[in-house]
Structure 1
Amino acid sequence: MPPRRLAAAVVSASAVTALAGLPALAPAAQAASSTAPASGWKARPATYGVASTKDVPVRMSDGTVLRADVLRPAKADGTPAPGRFPVIVTQTPYNKSAPGLSFENDYLVQRGYVQVIADVRGTGSSLGTWDSFGPREQLDGKEIVEWAHSSARPWSNGRVGLYGISYGAINQFFTAAQHPAGLRAMFPIVPAGDVYRDVVASGGQIDAGFIPLWLGLVTTAGLVPPAYTATDPAGGTAALLDHVVGATEFQGPTIGSAVTGDAQAYDGPFYRTRSPLRVVDRVTVPTFVVGGEYDLFQRGEPMLYERLRANGVPTRFLLGPWTHLQASSADLSGAHVGTMDELVLRWMDRHVRGVSDRALGSDVKQVTYHEIGGGWRTAPGWMPSSVSARTFQLSGTATPGTPGSLVAATPTSGADDVHPVPVAGLCTRSASQWTAGALAVPPCEDNALNDSVGTSWQTAPLASDLHLMGPINAQLFTSSSRPDAMLSVHIEDVAPDGHVERLTGGWQVLSHRALDLSRSRTLDGRLIQPYHPFTEATQVPMETGKVARIDVEVFPTGAVLRKGHRLRVTVQQYDVPHLLAPLPQVVDSLGSVVTIHHSRTYPSRLVLPVRG
């Protein structure tokens, strides 16, 4: 991606788009490189140009004016084509007019859709105060759809779909849950499910790799004067002032509260209001969920799909080997589903336009996912009946640089120390993932160097391929020399040549070890996805020298470890630059030495979802 500059921001376009979850170019610019669907389905050709009307005012029920760009199919002379068309609504906080970003999907407009791109309240060219998925912003989503659906729009036939990436994927769930008139389908690309657990405070520490930069991006983009300021100075000035007020009333206090260990450091009403998993049961329109195995929202994406499927909503799930930055323009070669744009068009044609597509069900399976270490696979669901629980016990003696063992049989007793190394995680795939792909450094895709400052256990060379599909529980019996610390867990594939590939990870603050078993997931009677409340009331410091069971939720993955490879788990106390302890936790964990105990009394183990 060529470097560009946002006005008033000293960041490159690649970094900005990483934070926004968007490609530097419009989705229509991606290469048509993927293998065609099995049925031979082909996308309709482009039959229109694009005519754009900027900053159209959309008045909300409380009187606040939001601004939207309206992209319409155009005739050869560039003027809007006559007639009414189905409408695609996209909502963004990143300033739809910001240089270096593009929210337009010309591919859809050229094939007979109108796209409405709205700056959410308090961002871009819209008035009001931003509060990131707050109740009023959620209501705005419903009202924008109904505005686009209305017969008062001469370009709308009343059928509406939702489309967007990252933030523009998350808000689709809040909009759809309110059942706005005219809404027929949605296509969220890399949405969060539970914003606290997925990204803000994974394991109970604050995301320092992405969240501050993300809030900074929204703030910076919001301080770019609206394009209409030249013709409407009063309106442009009012919007700018609203954005300044929002920065002082929302962004600054939110970060401050989390870092100092106040309310925003814990899960509670603030995060629950903003989590799609809290409203997904009210979503009834057909939904195509796209996730990434190295995405910021790796945890929540399959959970959203599973809930929709369980509720009987027509849905599909695509999970690929990409970061947040790569998702919307991802290479789908070998997946046999077409390009991402073709998938969006096909989904919208079927469910918004109402075009018959009998081959859709056979071409695009319930789940299409890329196995890390292998290739594209399909499944009748996420974690179908062919997935079973398999357990490996920690065994032997592990020291930094010398792994202990992972065994299926009775373990050898031991107590292995995990020392505090504040640079742990710096050169890993985790660092790339949790900066949305901005810190992708090829040499750091080998976790071997990082493992040398951690404590590891690994299997003997595998006698057959091991296929994983789902979340993992690292159940570790732990003691600590200090009242608190964090366990950062890497699940890895060690090749015969010594290359170490990180497959997925999980994190858990020791004082937040309390479990809510009613919301935890089991497989074959074994705990495989622990759920921790992460509230102040359930936080209990460690007692020095006392062993406690710590269940670390390791985020879901699809991967295969080939015959002759080894499965490794590495434990550390830090994951830099991803996570930062709130200040009270820094004090409680300073200089901590954590010990992992494994024996018959303390059966530390991994519980894995193995696909047969």
Structure 2
Amino acid sequence: MSRTDGGRPLGRGPRLVGWGLQKAWRLPPRHNRVRVRRGVRVPMSDGTVLLADHYTPVGDGPAATVLVRCPYGRKAPFSLLNAQILAERGHQVLFQSCRGTFGSGGAFEPMRHEVSDGRDTVAWLREQDWFDGRLLTFGASYLGFVQWALLCDPPPELLGAVVQVAPHDFSRAAWRDGAFDLFNFLGWSEMVAGQERADRLRQGLRTLRPAPRLTAAVAGSPLRKGARALLGDKAPWFEDWLEHSDLTDPFWTPLQCGDALARTGVPTLLVGGWHDLFLAQTLEQYRVLRSRGVPTRLIVGPWTHEQAAIKAGVVTAESLDWLDRCLAPSKPQGHSARIWTGGLGWQETGDWPPPRVREQTWYLGPDGTLRPDHLPGEPAEFRYDPADPTPSVGGAIMLQGGGRRDNRRLEARDDVLVFTGPPLDAPLEVRGAVTARIALWRDNPDRTLDPRPSRTRRPTPHHARCGGDSVNPEARAVFAGAGLQRRAGDPRCSAAGVQCRTGAVISRSATSRSSSSARRSGRPT
């Protein structure tokens, strides 16, 4: 049969929404109308059947197929952003629900079956007479992880991939530098556990304000008790994650798709955000693929994880262009990067980090100073109270509340040390990873250290300097990024190298001070 046989025309409502999004995001115009065949049954090799919707552009010419595998359902807004937009511009789309979600058989075990299910889906595609042998993949977050799972053994038909804000190794995302990312993955687990309830509108509204529920869930000890009270029996994987802190444990093997970086030769567009929790892995993906000569393009914008999908029209426009280029006779070559730099906007660079970057070393000095020279002084001290844990403010938060935030209330706490540099005499642009090496004495055998660079900006933009040695109390301390390092055991002196996870790009004016804060946190699990 032809690819336009079967299915129903896309409704008027979705078409109008697609047109509005085209205008708002300045996307290329739609080429064609679309038909959708819903509930297509795709059998897996173990007998499980996954459901998919097949979007086809109306017309008789050949059309490549974009495979999109998703655990969040096949209705709006996911259908609009991951299927309709692509189909309206000439691509077939197989939009599939992952195992155990929205009608697909089996039990949902996050990321555990994606390697085999992706491989089985491609095998099924080869048997369809509407599949013309050209395959592309597309998607963000979990929809990006399933692409890395497929790329562990790249199918020969795969011509291009668009991976947005996605990890290739979930174990390293969950246990980031030895500390479990509690807020993000407890929140994600709660969202997924309730996403198929009948009252989806109410559930969606709950997702917009997760902080009060998550805060209450982690307020007590042990953490498992609070998590269980929040999740019930709907997310058994969460406690499994907590119980497996050793990333070499075979438990994590199906969730670790780093082999894909060494095996794929597929042209890949990578999208990250400066406040995305997966940014470190996005930059690693680019670095490894570039070093192997895989055609790769990197885009990093001023987004949190959520904003990269819903506020970044530039991402969708670049993604559509990339898919078209992968199908063209002159396929993508080499590597390039498009980077958002604060104060300067978008910059097109040939690489990342860009050449001619000069490293600087700044030292934590006495009396809360941050200095370009080393000045010996007495150690700075702080006291951490587990009954009043240090809060997280902004940064790499998956749902609401991430990104740049005013840090003044956080930095006023007794369990936060702040080191502030002098006013800058000239604009300073900071690019690349930020690393802190800190000598720490502690009387608790367990600790988590969280250094975060920030900038302090005076409210009057024409002031070149701050008077005296103190920061103007009306100035804003704006969070720029954070990195965690967890250590357990000997409470005596330890020197810990801590990699900040922002890969920060900051443009500072002469009215700013560079600032760094370090906070300690820890909870029994």
Q: Are 1:477 and 2:455 an aligned pair? A: no
- SS at 2:110's partner residue? coil
Q: Distance in 1 between matches of 2:369 and 2:484?
A: 21
State the match for 1:532 in structure 2: none
The counterpart of 1:569, out of the listed 508, 513, 516, is 516
Equivalent of 1:550 in 484, 490, 496: 496
Question: How far off its partner does 1:214 sit?
Answer: 1.6
CA contact (8 A) 1:27 1:104 kept: no
1:330-479 alignment runs, 5 A limit: 330-331=311-312, 339-351=314-326, 353-356=327-330, 366-397=336-367, 404-420=368-384, 426=391, 428-430=393-395, 433-434=396-397, 436-439=398-401, 445-453=405-413, 454-479=416-441
Structure 1 residue 34: deviation in Å? Answer: 6.7
Q: Distance in 2 between matches of 1:280 and 1:248?
A: 37
1:263 counterpart residue number: 244
How far apart, CA to CA, are the structure 2 residues paired with 1:267 and 1:280? 19
In the TM superposition, what is the alpha-carbon distance from 1:188 to its structure 2 partner?
0.8
Q: 285-294 vs 459-468, which deviates more?
A: 459-468
Equivalence map 1:22-61=2 (5 Å): 30=21, 32=23, 43=28, 45-61=29-45
Matches of 1:72 and 1:196 in 2, distance apart? 36
In the other structure, the counterpart of 1:131 is 109
Unaligned 5+ segments in structure 1 are: 1-24, 36-41, 75-80, 226-246, 333-338, 398-403, 512-540, 575-579, 584-612
Q: 1:295 to 1:99 in 2, by over 3 A?
A: closer
Q: Partners of 2:440 and 2:23 in 1: how far apart?
A: 50
Deviation of 1:356 (Å): 4.1
1:451: Cα distance to partner? 0.9
Structure 1 residue 464, shift from structure 2 partner: 2.7
In structure 2, relative to structure 1, the CA distance for the partners of 1:473 and 1:275 (3 Å cut) is same
Query: 1:205–1:582: 8 Å Cα contact kept in structure 2?
Result: no
The one-letter code sitting in structure 1 at the alignment partner of 2:309 is S
Shift of 1:373: 4.1
Write out per-residue CA displacement over residues 83-117 of structure 1, whole angstroms, 9 at most, x where no aligned residue: 54110010011222488875543222112111101
State whether residues 96 and 102 of structure 1, in contact with CA within 8 Å, keep that contact through their aligned partners in structure 2. Answer: no
Give the secondary-structure state (helix, strand or coil) at the position aligned to 1:345.
helix
Q: Is the contact between residue 205 and residue 581 of structure 1 (CA under 8 Å) also seen in structure 2?
A: no
Q: Is the Cα contact below 8 Å between 1:123 and 1:218 reproduced in 2?
A: no
Report if aligned partners of 1:257, 1:264 keep a CA contact under 8 Å in 2. no
2:457 corresponds to which of 495, 498, 501? 495
Matches within 5 A, 1:27-176: 30=21, 32=23, 43=28, 45-74=29-58, 81-97=59-75, 102=80, 104-134=82-112, 136-148=113-125, 150=126, 152-176=127-151
CA distance in 2, matches of 1:266, 1:306: 22
Task: Provide the rounded CA distance (Å) in 2 between the counterparts of 1:553 and 1:205.
Answer: 13
Structure 2 partner of 1:7: none
User: Structure 1 residues 158, 255: CA separation in 2 closer, same or farther (over 3 Å shift)?
Assistant: same
- Considering Cα pairs closer than 8 Å and 6+ residues apart, tell me whether 1 or 2 has the greater RCO: 1
Deviations 1:574-595 (A, max 9, x none): 3xxxxx7342xxxxxxxxxxxx
What residue in structure 1 maps to residue 216 of structure 2?
none
Taking a change above 3 Å as real, the CA distance of residues 569 and 374 of structure 1, as seen in their structure-2 partners, is: same
| Aligned mates of 1:388, 1:277 — CA distance in 2 | 30
Aligned 8 A contact 1:103 1:117 in 2: no
Q: In 2, distance between residues paired with 1:374 and 1:582?
A: 43
- Counterpart residue identity of residue 212, structure 1: L
Q: CA deviation at 1:197?
A: 3.1
Tell me if structure 2 keeps the 8 A contact 1:138–1:171: yes
Distance 2:198 2:151 in 1: 30
TM-aligned CA deviation for residue 412 of structure 1: 3.0
Worse-superposed segment, 61-70 or 25-34 = 25-34
The Cα offsets for residues 243-271 of structure 1, whole Å up to 9 and x where unpaired, read as: xxxx999941x322444xx3246553333
Residue 507 (1) aligns with residue 521 (2): no
Question: Taking structure 1 as reference, are residues 257 and 128 closer, same or farther at Cα in structure 2, changes over 3 Å only?
Answer: closer
Shift of 1:562: 2.1
Shift of 1:427: 6.5
Of residues 153, 158, 163, the one that matches 1:188 is 163
Q: Give the secondary-structure state (helix, strand or coil) at the position aligned to 1:61.
A: coil
Task: Give me the identity figure in percent.
Answer: 23
Secondary structure, counterpart of 1:463 in structure 2: coil
Q: Which amino acid aligns with 1:62?
A: D
Q: What is the rounded CA distance, in whole Å, between the counterparts of 1:121 and 1:100 in structure 2?
A: 17
Amino acid at match of 1:30: L
* CA drift at 1:118: 0.8
What displacement does 1:304 show? 0.6
Q: Shift of residue 386 of structure 1?
A: 1.6
Are 1:493 and 1:568, in contact at CA under 8 Å, matched by a contact in 2? Answer: yes
**Pairwise CA distance, 1:139:** 1.5
- Could you list the runs of 5+ residues in structure 2 that have no partner in the other structure? 1-15, 200-230, 460-474
Aligned to 1:594: none
Give the Cα separation in 2 of the matches to 1:104 and 1:408: 48
- One-letter amino acid of the counterpart of residue 316, structure 1: R
Asked if residue 304 in structure 1 is aligned to residue 279 in structure 2, the reply is: no
Q: 1:142 to 1:277 in 2, by over 3 A?
A: same
Aligned-partner Cα distance in 1 for 2:194–2:76: 10
Q: Whole-Å Cα distance in 2 between the matches of residues 58 and 387 of structure 1?
A: 50
- Number of equivalences: 460
Match of 1:517 in 2: none
What amino acid does structure 2 have at the position aligned with 1:305?
A: Y
- What are the residue-to-residue correspondences of 1:156-305 with 2, within 5 Å? 156-198=131-173, 200-221=174-195, 251-252=235-236, 254-259=237-242, 262-264=243-245, 268-305=249-286
Contact 1:446 1:499 in 2 (8 A): yes
SS of residue in 2 equivalent to 1:170: helix
Q: Could you tell me whether the CA contact under 8 Å between 1:471 and 1:553 is conserved in 2?
A: yes
- Cα gap change, 1:208 to 1:249, in 2 (>3 Å): same
Q: Which amino acid aligns with 2:448?
A: M
What CA distance in whole angstroms lies between the structure 2 residues aligned with 1:26 and 1:508? 45
Shift in CA distance, 264/129, structure 1 to aligned 2, threshold 3 Å: farther
Tell whether the 8 Å contact from 2:82 to 2:138 is kept in structure 1 after alignment: no
Q: Say whether the 8 Å CA contact 1:27–1:105 is kept in structure 2.
A: no
Going from structure 1 to structure 2, the CA distance change for 1:223 and 1:330 (only over 3 Å counts) comes to closer
Aligned partner of 1:602 in structure 2 is none
Provide the rounded CA distance (Å) in 1 between the counterparts of 2:103 and 2:360: 53
CA distance in 1, matches of 2:337, 2:49: 40
> Structure 1 pair 390/33, CA: closer, same or farther in 2 (3 Å)?
farther
- What letter corresponds to residue 382 of structure 2 in structure 1? V
What is the aligned-residue RMSD (CA, Å)? 2.9
Taking structure 2 as the reference length, the TM-score comes to 0.80
Does the aligned pair in 2 maintain the 1:206–1:582 contact within 8 Å? no
